[in-house]
Chain A
Amino acid sequence: MTEVIQPSLTIDALGKKCPIPIIMLAEQINYVPLNAVIAVLADDPAAFTDVPAWCRLKSHRHVGSYELPQGGWSIHVRRNY
């Protein structure tokens, strides 16, 4: 198993419904350095699909989604450009 990279920035979108977690991610991604990882904490089931789909559309990289103990996920995205 590969080690989980420490995110440079964490967005707390817990309790936020789609598409707000994606909107927050799109706003914040330019505030981290290139190749840095940003973590989106979300518990709307839509975010689990939507964050990786956003990465595909925007050519950023979905690193992985990790379940949170209290429910939801920490979804890691690497800034590609």
Chain B
Amino acid sequence: MGLVAYFDAASTEPLHPQAREALLAAIDVGWADPARLYGQARRAHLLLEQARTEVAEALGARPDEVSFTSSGTQAVHLGVLGTLHGRRRAGRHLVTGAVEHSSVLHAASLHERGGGTVEIVGVDLRGRVDPAAFKAAVSRPDTGLACLQTANHEVGTLQPVDEVAAACREHGVPLLVDAAQTAGRLPIPQGWSVLTASAHKWGGPAGVGVLAVRKGTRFRSFLPEDERERRRVPGFENVPAIVAAAAALRAMTAEAARERSRLSALVDKIRRTVPEIVPDVEVIGDPVERAPHIVTFSCLYVDGEVLLTELDKAGFAVSSGSSCTASTLRPSHVLEAMGVLTHGNVRVSLPRGASAAEVDRFLAVLPDVVHRIRQDAGVA
């Protein structure tokens, strides 16, 4: 196999070397049940609590506010439904942005099927929720919970979390902030009541999510009772993976300031160059208020699946929100809500260490790949 540039960090960041090291060490010493009282168990417990303290510190939480889940999706499901359950007497109305991760929207659908109500706040052409509309939505007196992501996973646009958090506080509504795309890369915004994240997006292993519930926020798991993770998450903790996740977060956070400005400059270059070298292309998402590592563009008249396949052949691992590339027949709900082209879509998301040379090679290859696909479709 030839040279492959991995540009799909928004799906999953490659395992950080320090996470790998921590994982291998913790498999040997952290395998016992942290809830038991003998030596090996106390050791596992200690490792787990150390990891919890580190993750809490990196996310701006207290250790007792942090629970580990089996994924970011599970963290969102438990966070949304557990907070709504805890606040069911205050009201069963849920407010969420239109471009949230599908885990939020699917939890919202379940809540609706169970008799709750949901309001979905729309976004502008750049994928940012309208703060005024969000504020108006959370002022509804029976609002039990509001959800907003830090940054969009498909186009990178940052959401107005601070503004929305202030409005939620004013109305006494808890705010779930989904930090999956920015944890370890950007500082966590203040003002969350519930915070969710996913370790494999910051260079940890798969199988570890974070659910942090701010002290004072009413929360009650909707699942059968279980003692683990402060009764918020059922099941035996994966201590070695959690230890590795904490190591990755520590390492990523330490490198973040330098790495994000470097990656952001590469993203700026892609944003600037692609429309100059490829005709009929639209770079989408906010050019400035965005996650440092994500850039998305759509090529008119191009089948997204063909484009991804050709880029794969040319040695680039990228992703797409175009429907033809997904298992579903519907186009991405994010692109739909923004009102931008849903076909010919390419998301480039740069992992830690992505090089300028790789980006240059991508920019050198892209125009010809797009041109050939258009030629085959009879439009060039």
Contacts and interface: CB of A to CB of B under 8 A. Distances in A.
Interface in B312-331: 322-324, 329-331
Contact of A19 (B303, B329, B335, B339): B303
Nearest to A19: B343
Given A19-B302, A23-B378, A46-B343, A57 B329 contact: no
B192 to A, nearest CB: 31
B342 interface: yes
Contacts of A46: 322-323, 330-331, 342-343
A26 interface: yes
Interface size of A as a range? 10 to 19
B379 A49 contact: no
Main secondary structure of the interface of B (DSSP, over half): loop
Given A18-B324, A18-B331, A23-B377, A53 B344 contact: no
Nearest to A18: B343
Contact of B330 (A26, A45, A52, A56): A45
Contacts, number: 61
Contact of A49 (B280, B331, B344): B331
Interface string A40-52: 0000111001101
B323 A53 contact: no
B333 to A, nearest CB: 10
Contact of A18 (B280, B339, B342, B379): B342
Interface of B: 280, 282, 300-303, 322-324, 329-331, 335-336, 339-344, 377-379
Interface of A: 17-19, 22-23, 26-27, 44-46, 49-50, 52-54, 56-57
